[in-house]
Amino acid sequence: MKNLDHNRLETHVKVLGWLNIVGGVLLLVLGFFTFIFLTGLGMVTGESDGFIVMTMVGIFSGFFMGALAIPGILAGIGLLKGKNWGRILAIIVGGFNLLSFPIGTVFGLYTFWVLFQNDAPDYFRPLKAA
């Protein structure tokens, strides 16, 4: 595998950061609409038990999607700021993305390819004061 030079690594890290942020925001929006849809579906049934069950499922689904989205957004912000914690979090999120076939798998592999470059640890290392 050919290693990336510093400029190309920087470009890929920024792309990866924005992909994490956009993916996380889309998942948050999907969670919100899932909550709205399931709650509305419970209202349409006209039964109080159906409404309660669908509302609970909607709340759980929405919060679950939000809980999955937040680490990706934080990882993206950390990557854009060049923080090592962002790199570590992005690697963890990338590992979970591998399970989401097919798009998440490609995204996870891209994450690993970028963040396991030989120069990646140096890119995220803080500059020493002179």
Q: Which residues contact 43 (CB under 8 A, 6 or more apart)?
A: 51
Q: What is the mean pLDDT of residues 6-29?
A: 94
Indicate the pLDDT class of residue 122, thresholds 50, 70 and 90: confident
Indicate the pLDDT class of residue 94, thresholds 50, 70 and 90: very high
pTM score of the predicted model: 0.87
Indicate the pLDDT class of residue 125, thresholds 50, 70 and 90: confident
Q: According to the model, what pLDDT value does residue 126 have?
A: 77
- Distance separating alpha carbons of residues 98 and 94, to the nearest angstrom: 6
Indicate the pLDDT class of residue 29, thresholds 50, 70 and 90: very high
Q: According to the model, what pLDDT value does residue 130 have?
A: 54
* Domain chopping of the chain, boundaries: 6-121
Q: Match 């996870």 to its residue by tokens.
A: 108
Percent of the chain with pLDDT over 90: 69
- Distance separating alpha carbons of residues 68 and 18, to the nearest angstrom: 16
Q: What is the mean pLDDT of residues 25-51?
A: 90
- Distance separating alpha carbons of residues 105 and 96, to the nearest angstrom: 9
Whether residue 26 is predicted with pLDDT greater than 70 in this model: the reply is yes
Instruction: Give me the helices (H) in 1-130, please.
Output: 6-45, 48-80, 84-97, 103-115, 120-123
